[in-house]
Chains A and B, each alone.
Chain A
């Protein structure tokens, strides 16, 4: 099914690329200034002092859910230009500018193309990052590559990076075109049916008045007028008129549906606009990084006030993350762990949260330091890597309305969080070994804390795996089916159990514990990322994706190289200090 859809999309895009663009502003009633003359188009400029707050919050039906226009603008601008804020433009304003000045923007370098081979084959300047819509649209070779890719998609062949990039470029051009044609403005609510298609401004502008969702053309006229007035006001740079017109547009649209439950509430839209504006998870890593740097300056030292400042930064980071989760859950109406992106921020949050609790209990001044580093890494990865799931989207049917699923996923990901924390502590411990292997005062407690965090993880992964069984029994009628995802959860449990038993038996001492905290985390990476992105089999297919394999592999190898390096150094040191280094250092207080 999905493949078919992707294929259709690719074909449509290939087609769209060939046809000349049709823009909203070219339709006579939407264009106040005659633009038919071939004189050079005036450049688009930002309008100072424009108040976009009302238009931002207008609900749009898009990709299976209702979101404010602000989100649509961000998604589209990000898709086309590769970033939300393009050359200092507020995404909302940039989208409006595209609509009122399509001729100008069409010729501007705004479409980001990074793939080198594609640029080469298309005859584009390889040093250039951005290209204009016209340039790409008229590129004959691009159309060829896309057609070839569509052919391959039909026979389910793997696409090359270049072909993927060509498809992306087509999507980008298509996105720009659906903005300027008004297609993305799916803002006319259905009068009666809460799940039916909404009409878009673009559809109405097309003049196809045959199917208006039960509205008459007259009923929709005020909304159309308001939309036009808003665009005209923006084009004229008239901030007062814009404010009035966008107010009018918002109220007109809200008054269209016949029953009250159709139109999304203003508060929900406002919440999402706030989430977009604040970008809480970006603040998370900024704050965690701050906390890390402050705590690093005081680690091992007894400077209480600096430590306190660091902990305040840390607590703020945790607080900001919690607020972020509150917003995201309220917007999506579901728990925050349904895709890779959400699980990364959730696991990072969990690790920092556990560390915070441990720090409070043990006053150890180690947890927060390790966890702020771990939190920074997690949130930075989530913020900067193209991980699927950043945009909030509806769930696969099997994931819906299920309490057991929620509990299972939250538990198992919290176990990842605990192991993530032990991973961070493991690195800290190895760092300590690197600095001074004889410093038992620092090393022994750190490893005791690793052990404690590991215990938390083991209970959670055991419970989480079992809860997964409960969910499976509830949804598929079997408790355990040797599905790769559940098998890997079990492998995680087994590998940490080996560590716990090994330490209990006295075979694993402090150094072994630190190393296994890092090495065992590989099983977590496999269960978390590998099953979905590398193995790609089993019932958890709704979470499957591709990509990032090389990066993940290099990161893992670099980490293992670090471990090997420290082990070598420690081994050399042990040989030299054989009488001094006692073997049973493990667990004494």
Chain B
């Protein structure tokens, strides 16, 4: 008994109240910081939805309850205090109801699409067994407790197939891979490009230009097929035509010379029949003069106003910088010399540029893999550095590509005839990518049925039919669906704008809902921000939208059912009334019941051991706090 009494006193104590309040405040603050650093799910998992957090709230509830009970029998001066604490308890009960009975999810509808169920935030693995004619659904939350080979997650259908999830990827891509085939199928090559920093492991193959090409950063790998030796020969030829950027025509007093710009760009070459050398500094497809800096700048890559900057170097080492524009080709009298008045060479330069013939294609680093006749593999490598090479490749052999940083090409597999398959791989996020663009998670499952097993990867949102143990099972990894009990169709989605702007002012979905079971004929409703649709116990909110080809078309609704709301509202109201009573009205209604002597020390255990004052002091203090002026 004594122990219970002490326990109750502790639970009702102010000391515990302050401890709980401080703990709660600190945890909440940490949670918001975690949310800011990571994401909402992380904060939910480690804080708001964590068991310890529930325990903390439970302790708070107990503390509040015991503190209120410790005032028993209630005197008028306790009313405010007790009412406030009752309100808090009601709110906690309401929250518990929401947690256990509340339902919340999303429904995305395209224009004209209808649905009678929506997606919950829970993810499940589902399995359908035709033999048992039964579907099993297991809610899973692998993100923070991923299964592993050592600790697989077992999902068993009683008396039916067993599923073990033994790998999990938080974000995963499905990539094509190839397996050895036969006959007239297309070739496929599995290659690696490696150095100390970069490790690329990819396939090229299939029939489309896309599947036959891999681009990563500064280089590309392409697969080509050569059926005849002639085709092969053509593909092994140097990959790029020289750049054609027109010619410079240099009229010296005694001779005229032509210099090809594309071939001699950024090089210094002697000019025929003269004592000079020419250094072509740069070519500008779209030059504009910048007056403040007295120089040319390039505005775009399109040949709108082509110009060339070059310098003539005299035998003595003197340099003359010229800028010449293609548009003045027929006006060689236009001065081209920049920044100097004295012209040593007396050259009249003009720039002959034919936009139709111009070729400014700059081929980057590129590997051409060629599946040649006789099931042989060849490569034709073009490096920006100019180190082109071509020749036959064998599987397993490492080739120096001549690309920067010593990238080596290794062919890991070569199937002259390959079949397509796919493979799930972990996704590596790129910088600056939005969270929304992240691919879904994936699980690796092993299905066992009638002594037979089958393993496969499933990404969230995918469903597969697999033959295991003579049964065609259907397995899926997907959000849990919740029937709404009524049908809803999106008729249209509209965005309103502020006058004269493209600023969104409103999001408006027009829907038709019907509930034939309950005899509700199709009815039209408009759902917009702050104006949800209420039907049965569901509330449908406008949540977000997506554009299709630039036109807003897909509307996403949040659908919720929260039975805790009335309790929480009641609790809120009671609590606020209680606070107001406690702070300001006590003086008034205490006057009604006349002043009584403080009761004997029964209730003030709330002060615990911290109280060095005699009994009743806390009560006195309590009274002293009351505003008498009002």
Interface residues of A (CB under 8 A from B): 1, 5, 18, 61-66, 123, 138-141, 143, 155-157, 186, 194-198, 361-362, 394, 397-398, 400-402, 405, 451-452, 455-456, 458-459, 462-463, 466, 469-470, 473-480, 482, 484, 487-488, 490-491, 494-495, 497-498, 501-507, 523, 526, 531, 534-538, 584, 586-589
Contact = CB atoms under 8 A, between A and B. Distances in A.
7 contacts: A140-B292, A141-B293, A196-B499, A463-B576, A473-B562, A479-B98, A504-B625
B514 interface: no
A427 B300 CA distance: 61
B621 A473 contact: no
A535 B32 contact: yes
Given A64-B498, A462-B579, A484-B35, A475 B621 contact: no
A258 B415 CA distance: 75
B610 A505 contact: yes
Given A477-B562, A484-B35, A488-B28, 12 more contacts: A18-B299, A63-B498, A63-B501, A140-B295, A196-B499, A470-B572, A480-B95, A480-B98, A482-B48, A505-B618, A507-B610, A526-B29
Contact of B18 (A194, A463, A502): A502
B163 interface: no
Nearest to A139: B292
Contacts of A507: 18, 610
B29 A498 contact: no
A466 B579 CA distance: 13
A197 B500 CA distance: 4
Given A397-B507, A451-B625, A505-B618, A584 B583 contact: no
The 5 closest A-B pairs by CB, nearest first: A64-B498, A477-B560, A140-B290, A535-B36, A466-B572
B341 interface: no
A475 B541 contact: yes
Contacts of A474: 530, 532
B541 to A, nearest CB: 5
Contacts of A198: 500
B618 A506 contact: yes
Contacts of B617: 506
B193 interface: no
Nearest to B35: A537
B40 A537 contact: yes
Contact of B624 (A65, A502, A531, A588): A588
A18 B102 CA distance: 59
A376 B31 CA distance: 35
A507 B15 CA distance: 10
B36 A155 contact: no
A504 B622 contact: yes
A5 B572 CA distance: 42
Given A476-B541, A482-B48, A362 B629 contact: yes
B504 A397 contact: yes
A506 B610 CA distance: 9
B116 to A, nearest CB: 19
Interface in B24-41: 24-25, 28-29, 31-33, 35-36, 40
B497 interface: yes
A140 to B, nearest CB: 4
A394 B621 contact: no
A473 B565 contact: yes
- Give the one of B40, B529, B584, B611 with max A CB within 10 A: B529
A438 B373 CA distance: 103
Given A18-B299, A195-B497, A361 B630 contact: yes
A397 B505 contact: yes
Given A198-B500, A397-B507, A491 B28 contact: yes
Nearest to B499: A195
B14 interface: yes
Given A198-B500, A361-B629, A361-B630, A491 B29 contact: yes
Interface in B581-610: 583-584, 607, 610
Nearest to A495: B25
B474 interface: no
B257 interface: no
Interface in B87-114: 94-95, 98, 102, 104
Contact of A488 (B32, B102, B292, B569): B32
A358 to B, nearest CB: 9
Interface of B: 14-15, 17-18, 21-22, 24-25, 28-29, 31-33, 35-36, 40, 43-44, 47-48, 94-95, 98, 102, 104, 288, 290-293, 295, 297, 299, 431-432, 434, 496-507, 529-532, 539, 541, 543, 558-560, 562, 564-565, 568-569, 572, 575-576, 579-580, 583-584, 607, 610-611, 613, 617-618, 621-622, 624-625, 627, 629-630
B48 A459 contact: no
Contacts of B292: 123, 138-140
A586 B431 CA distance: 57
B576 A475 contact: no
B14 A501 contact: yes
A452 B18 contact: no
Nearest to A586: B621
B500 A506 contact: no
- Give the one of B297, B431, B498 with max A CB within 10 A: B498
Contacts of A5: 502
B266 to A, nearest CB: 21
Given A61-B500, A451-B625, A589-B624, A479 B35 contact: no
A61 B531 CA distance: 28
Contacts of B624: 587-589
A579 to B, nearest CB: 17
B293 A400 contact: no
Contacts of B576: 459, 462-463, 466
A402 B530 contact: yes
A291 B268 CA distance: 79
B611 A506 contact: yes
B31 A64 contact: no
B500 A479 contact: no
Contacts of B98: 478-480
Contacts of A194: 499
A394 B14 contact: no
Contacts of B568: 469, 479-480
B14 A64 contact: no
Given A138-B291, A140-B293, A140-B297, A394 B503 contact: yes
Nearest to A200: B500
Given A197-B500, A535-B32, A475 B529 contact: yes
A535 B611 contact: no
Given A195-B499, A400-B505, A487 B28 contact: yes
- Give the one of A64, A123, A397, A459 with max B CB within 10 A: A397
Contact of B580 (A65, A459, A469, A506): A459
A497 B84 CA distance: 13
- Give the one of B22, B29, B611, B630 with max A CB within 10 A: B29
A62 B501 CA distance: 8
A140 B15 CA distance: 68
A155 B431 contact: yes
A475 B530 contact: yes
Contacts of B506: 397, 400
Contacts of B29: 488, 491, 526
A198 B499 CA distance: 9
B25 A484 contact: no
Contacts of A402: 530
Given A505-B14, A535-B32, A482 B43 contact: yes
Contact of B532 (A61, A477, A484): A477
Contacts of B564: 479
Contacts of A501: 14, 17-18, 21
A461 B453 CA distance: 60
B304 to A, nearest CB: 13
B83 to A, nearest CB: 13
Nearest to B430: A155
Nearest to B15: A505
Nearest to B558: A477
